[in-house]
DNA sequence: CGCCGTTTTGAGTCTAGTCAAAGGTGGTGG
DNA sequence: CCACCACCTTTGACTAGACTCAAAACGGCG
């Protein structure tokens, strides 16, 4: 399978300062089917894509956009015309209920897609906020669609990206619907671990980009509860947390919480 | 916009016996963008689709399949080769965690799509169980894909169906993450109300196809809690529930819970 | 008519939420 | 470089809402 290497498989110590190493070769949304997949640190571009396909692919993502920490890549009701992949930094997506309540629906790291929700109504359906100074590839949807039409392998890859989003959300619903607070935090850390590993970072030692409040909102619990659960997992010797710096001491134990 | 009428806009009393009136013209998954949409009782087939397109569309969904109550249309890990739309009856989709916990991720009524989760890994990712004797249109994915390739309006409609699924799941996550038990039940009834209306049934008077347990599982609460919330809403004069027969007395009040 | 699965209701328990206060951390400007 | 400020995090005490267990009532079906 043709694929683009995302990172060398060495583990740079996560820069506590906030700025991650960039990698200009993350060309297309990484296809990540739920939390089961332990994919290698490579981004499958499209099964059977030829070099020509790749050249075309590059041509439609020539633009990038920088988003400062706390700023929005797009907001709810913005007209939809592009999808994005994270090149550097990370984002959260938030939907807002009319009564003002907010729900964080996901966190997106390097190589992951943003904006797929907008396709449905031609307007974006959530806010995408940068959690640190970030950069995205901008993929104009009209161009992507025409490329999909020309190259069936890319078409199918795009279907999979969309479907993968559906599967990922199902798994999030499962968490919100059935797990205790402790299990949610444990599952969250393990999910991050898998994603860090897939990006060539250490799966046991990473720096959280989001606050306890954002985490809690994503997990459907309050920030104080998140904090208590971190303390609890720490007492059990499963993780070692100093603020946002996380070390997973016992992954197996964590998965059995 | 070319569209196919689903039902006459009269309200047949829901058959408490279990068998709904069938309608052979529900040809393609109904595109339902979240819970905001109060769409008319018509199924948009594809913006700008021509009559020729429709003929082609009919040709790929010639097969139907009947599923008896309690039986599965497909199960997790079944190989994916088709998507489905509900012609009659209704379904629930359930994902199962390795520890045996289950989460109902959705209920599907006439005109709604099933199986989109399978695209991602070529295997289905949940169980689809009939809640009553039901019938689906079987759409072989390979054929749909080739049709999408030939007819761009159908292609774009399919993108919207996929994206709509993502948006709907986001809204479900919001419910699971932020609402009280009472609000969940109220929101659930209002969602059903909108969907019933879109199908030409009464939006205030309908028969639930699922048990309290299935509802509770979907809503992330226990069956006893569902029952208590029904009693509470009834005391407030917002709904009138006799077992599975529901009458929404005060929709506005219900939306303000 | 009786059985089985479903629903309702009650009483007691426990998890997570709320409110409050103290302790950290990082970023900014002097 | 340090001090200050704003924001984030931790912890405690108390409360509220949902869960558990239990039993009775209901409803559909053979």
Annotate B233-254 with DSSP letters as a single string: HHHTTSEEEETTEEEES-HHHH
A45/A31 Cα distance (integer angstroms): 9
Distance A17 CA to D11 C1' (A): 27
- In this prediction, residues B126-153 reach a mean pLDDT of 92
B25/B8 Cα distance (integer angstroms): 12
Q: Which helix (H) or strand (E) holds B195?
A: helix B181-198
Distance of residue A129 Cα from the nearest chain B Cα, in angstroms: 16
pLDDT at B126 over 70: yes
- Expressed in percent and rounded to 5, the helix, strand and coil fractions of chain A are 35, 25, 40
Structural domain tally of chain B? 2
pLDDT at B156 over 80: yes
> Does residue A67 sit in the same domain as residue A92?
yes
Residue at a domain's end among A167, A202, A228: A167
CATH code of residue A222: 1.10.10.10
Q: Is B6 helix (H, G, I), strand (E, B) or coil?
A: coil
Between A61-70, A73-82, A171-180, A201-210, the lowest mean confidence (pLDDT) is in A61-70
> Does residue A49 sit in the same domain as residue A158?
yes
pLDDT of residue B16: 39
> Does residue B116 sit in the same domain as residue B185?
no
* Residue in B103, B145, B167 nearest the CB of A117: B167
CA-nearest of B215, B217, B214, B189 to B203 is B189
pLDDT at A126 over 80: yes
pLDDT at B247 over 90: yes
Number of A to B CB contacts under 8 A, please give it: 130
- In this prediction, residues A164-172 reach a mean pLDDT of 95
Q: Which nucleotides of D are covered by protein (CB under 7 A)?
A: 8-13, 17-22, 26-29
> Does residue B245 sit in the same domain as residue B201?
yes
Between A159-163, A184-188, B43-47, B146-150, the lowest mean confidence (pLDDT) is in B43-47
pLDDT at B253 over 80: yes
Mean of the per-residue pLDDT values of chain A: 82
Query: What residues of B are in contact with residue A120 (Cβ under 8 Å)?
Result: 31, 33, 160, 163-164, 166-167
Contact A171 B95 (CB under 8 A): yes
pLDDT higher for B204 or B49? B204
> Does residue A251 sit in the same domain as residue A161?
no
Distance A216 CA to C22 C1' (A): 22
* Residue in A149, A167, A177 nearest the CB of B120: A167
Spell out the alpha helix ranges (H) of chain A.
51-60, 141-150, 152-178, 181-198, 212-219, 223-235, 251-255
Q: Which helix (H) or strand (E) holds B56?
A: helix B51-60
Structure tokens at B239: 């709904």
Query: What residues of A are in contact with residue B118 (Cβ under 8 Å)?
Result: 163
Kind of pairing between the strands at B42-44 and B3-5: antiparallel
pLDDT at B76 over 80: yes
- In this prediction, residues B81-93 reach a mean pLDDT of 94
pLDDT of residue B60: 65
Distance of residue A92 Cα from the nearest chain B Cα, in angstroms: 13
pLDDT of residue A164: 93
- In this prediction, residues B1-11 reach a mean pLDDT of 40
> Does residue A134 sit in the same domain as residue A55?
yes
Contact A170 B125 (CB under 8 A): yes
Question: pLDDT-derived band of residue A100, with 50, 70 and 90 as boundaries?
Answer: confident
Whether A157 is covered by a domain: the verdict is yes
- In this prediction, residues A215-239 reach a mean pLDDT of 96
- Please tell me what DSSP assigns to residue B123: B
Neighbours of B205 (CB within 10 A): 16
pLDDT of residue B188: 97
pLDDT of residue B100: 86
> Does residue A138 sit in the same domain as residue A237?
no
A74's CB contacts (< 8 A; 6+ apart) are: A115, A118, A124, A127, A128
pLDDT at B44 over 50: no
pLDDT at B33 over 60: no
A202's CB contacts (< 8 A; 6+ apart) are: A11, A14, A196
Mean of the per-residue pLDDT values of chain B: 82
* Residue in A152, A160, A166 nearest the CB of B165: A166
Query: What residues of B are in contact with residue A213 (Cβ under 8 Å)?
Result: none
Distance A252 CA to C13 C1' (A): 31
- In this prediction, residues B7-18 reach a mean pLDDT of 42
> Does residue A146 sit in the same domain as residue A193?
no
Question: pLDDT-derived band of residue A4, with 50, 70 and 90 as boundaries?
Answer: very low
Query: What residues of B are in contact with residue A223 (Cβ under 8 Å)?
Result: none
- Radius of gyration (Cα) for chain B, nearest Å? 18
pLDDT at A133 over 80: yes
pLDDT of residue B141: 92
Q: Which chain A residue lies closest to B162 (C-alpha atoms)?
A: A162
Residue-number span of the structural domain to which A191 is assigned: 179-255
pLDDT of residue B114: 95
CATH code of residue B132: 2.60.120.10
Query: What residues of A are in contact with residue B149 (Cβ under 8 Å)?
Result: 149, 152, 155
Neighbours of A122 (CB within 10 A): 13
Query: What residues of A are in contact with residue B217 (Cβ under 8 Å)?
Result: 177
Residue at a domain's end among B143, B177, B211: B177
> Does residue B40 sit in the same domain as residue B118?
yes
Task: Name the nucleotide nearest A243; use CA and C1'.
Answer: D9
Distance of residue B188 Cα from the nearest chain A Cα, in angstroms: 15
* Residue in A103, A166, A172 nearest the CB of B117: A166
> Does residue B155 sit in the same domain as residue B212?
no
> Does residue B152 sit in the same domain as residue B236?
no
Contact B118 A174 (CB under 8 A): no
pLDDT at A15 over 70: no
* Residue in A102, A163, A218 nearest the CB of B120: A163
Whether A174 is covered by a domain: the verdict is no
Whether A227 is covered by a domain: the verdict is yes
CB under 7 Å from strand C: A 16-18, 180-182, 220-222, 224-225, 242-244; B 211-213, 223-224, 226-228, 230-231, 241, 243-244
Residue at a domain's end among A141, A167, A193: A167
How far from the centroid of its chain's Cα atoms is residue A151's Cα?
26
Contact B126 A34 (CB under 8 A): no
Question: pLDDT-derived band of residue A56, with 50, 70 and 90 as boundaries?
Answer: low
> Does residue B185 sit in the same domain as residue B99?
no
Distance of residue A118 Cα from the nearest chain B Cα, in angstroms: 7
């Amino acid at each position: 399978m043709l694929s683009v290497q995302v990172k060398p498989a060495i583990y740079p110590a996560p820069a506590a300062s906030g700025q991650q190493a960039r990698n200009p070769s993350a060309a297309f949304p990484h296809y990540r089917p739920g939390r089961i997949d332990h994919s290698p640190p490579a981004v499958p571009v499209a099964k059977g894509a030829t070099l020509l396909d790749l050249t075309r692919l590059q041509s439609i993502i020539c633009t990038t956009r920088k988003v400062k920490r706390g700023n929005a890549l797009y907001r709810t009701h913005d007209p939809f015309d592009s999808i994005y992949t994270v090149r550097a930094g990370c984002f959260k997506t938030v939907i807002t209920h009319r009564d003002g309540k907010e729900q964080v629906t996901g966190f997106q790291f390097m190589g992951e897609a943003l904006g797929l929700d907008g396709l449905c109504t031609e307007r974006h359906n959530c806010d995408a906020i940068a959690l640190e100074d970030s950069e995205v590839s901008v993929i104009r949807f009209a161009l992507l669609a025409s490329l999909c039409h020309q190259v069936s392998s890319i078409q199918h890859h795009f279907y999979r990206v969309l479907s993968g989003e559906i599967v990922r959300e199902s798994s999030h619903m499962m968490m919100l619907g059935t797990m205790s607070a402790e299990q949610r935090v444990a599952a969250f850390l393990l999910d991050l671990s898998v994603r860090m590993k897939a990006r060539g970072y250490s799966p046991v030692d990473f720096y959280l980009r989001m606050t306890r409040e954002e985490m809690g909102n994503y997990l459907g619990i309050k920030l104080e509860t998140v904090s208590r659960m971190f303390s609890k997992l720490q007492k059990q010797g499963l993780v070692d947390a100093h603020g946002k710096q996380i070390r997973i001491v016992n992954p197996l134990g964590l998965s059995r919480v």
